[in-house]
Chain A
Amino acid sequence: MHTKLKYLAMTALFFSASSAMYAVDLTKAYDMPDATEMIKKDLFPAAKKYTMPKSCDLNDPKAIARGEYIFHNLNGKKAKKPAPEGLVKFVEKKGKDGKVKKKAKQFGNCVACHNIEGARGAGNIGPSLESYKENFIDTKARDAQFVYQKIADPRIDNPNTHMTVNLTTGLFNEQEICDLTAYVISEKKKK
């Protein structure tokens, strides 16, 4: 009898201990993947001043054509027309696995925020760039250097800008910023 009780007590003890062991630690029971490092790597540098390179040929029709293409398209996958000379729709990138993959080249999609001659579905977050040459360049309100800086890194002109940063982020190179500048300040056909 006595031993039986003892036995019972022991089993009870055993069960409570094992169930305590089994009361899973729920603080690790769900997924909470890390994003802190991802965000850190995704940050971009502080606002940077640029001088328009001498190599920018703002009157080159090919540069203007490239600028127009970058302005009106989001990326190489979405762009319908063939890319103009000096621009590609896809770039080759080495993935983590070492394999080379074709990736759509990102363009400016400036039309998402700006109206301009010939725009389709333009947004209005940024000012209209229609008749830019007549209104801003010919009147000397702006010059090519201002436009170049604005596109390269608009934070110099306006630290709280809603505009995309295009050169400091490394998404575009100097030549592409030249192309965009050339296009914005070019004389355009009136409809």
Chain B
Amino acid sequence: MRKVILSIAFLSTMGMLQLNAGEQFAMSDADRAMYKEMLENNPAEIYVEEGGEILEDSLGGEEALAKFLGVSEKDLPKYIAGFPRYVEKLGNVVGIDQVLQAMEVEQGKKKTKLKSGKMFSMLAYVKSLANDELIGIDVDADEHIKAAYALGKKTYMTARGGRGLSCNSCHSADIVGQVLRTQPLPDLGEVAVGGTWPAYRMTKSSLRTPQRRFQGCMKNALLKVIPIGSKEMVALEVYVTKLGADKKKKIAIPGLKR
């Protein structure tokens, strides 16, 4: 039953739960109608488009990006689908946003802040270049990504903060599908976090990146919120992205979330 709930679309999931549990759940009929409408017309498309324009105008677009990463334009989508990854000239396992910062610096431009809306838009655009590709993260590719994966797993499992919770407290397999307050707990692999974020978050009316989403859970559960782009944050993204890769999920940016 749990598996079934999660494998079908969010919309019908909410519908089913609604049948089972009546008014307990947070999504009203009006919310559901809005969600359906937004599925056809994701408000975040605007940001993605805007991100594409910024990239084109200020950094030279895909051509410059491919060149910076040392891949052909043809191979760019597959390469993007493998982020976060080790990029030798940056000397670290990095996210797409950090690559964009390095490009800016190389071109003598001002670095865009990782947590800025502008960066979120650019990141969403670049990731959307990989749409329809399988999530391509390879956590055995080299020693660096192996270490990042291990750090990600550790960060995911570490209970901390005011309530002594870890990501795993709420997202481990044995508790997925159960209900926290009015929210069914998602299986982070099944919902393909690595393939659906950046996403438009309806409850926040804005475009959010995966790391920004992790921060949301940290804040709610009283874990000290760690900064976007930190080693641990990138590592968390590596770990969570792998969960979706294991389930052969594809990239579809921008996602649409509650």
Partners in one complex: yes
A residues with a Cβ closer than 8 A to B are 24, 26-27, 29-36, 38-39, 41-44, 106, 109, 111-113, 121-125, 162, 164-166, 168-171
CA A41 to CA B162, docked complex, whole Å: 11
CB of A123 within 8 A of CB of B178, answer: yes
Give the contact-size bracket for chain B. Answer: 35 or more
CB of B227 within 8 A of CB of A121, answer: no
Interface string of B25-43 (1 = CB under 8 A from A): 0100000000000000000
Given contacts A39-B158, A39-B232, contact A27 B114 (CB under 8 A): no
Please name all residues of chain B whose beta carbon is closer than 8 Å to the beta carbon of A112 when the two chains form the complex: 180-181
Cβ-based interface call for B147 (8 A): no
Please name all residues of chain B whose beta carbon is closer than 8 Å to the beta carbon of A111 when the two chains form the complex: 181
B residues with a Cβ closer than 8 A to A are 24, 26, 89-92, 94, 98-99, 101-102, 105-106, 111, 113-114, 155, 158-165, 169-170, 172, 175, 178-183, 185, 222-224, 226-227, 229-234
CB of B181 within 8 A of CB of A165, answer: no
CB-based nearest A residue for B23? A121
Task: From B114, B155, B172, B224, give the contact of A31 (CB < 8 A).
Answer: B114
CB-based nearest B residue for A109? B181
CB of B224 within 8 A of CB of A164, answer: no
CB of A31 within 8 A of CB of B98, answer: yes
Binding site secondary structure of chain A: loop
CA A106 to CA B165, docked complex, whole Å: 15
CB of A123 within 8 A of CB of B181, answer: yes
CA A43 to CA B98, docked complex, whole Å: 28
Task: From A26, A41, A169, give the contact of B105 (CB < 8 A).
Answer: A26
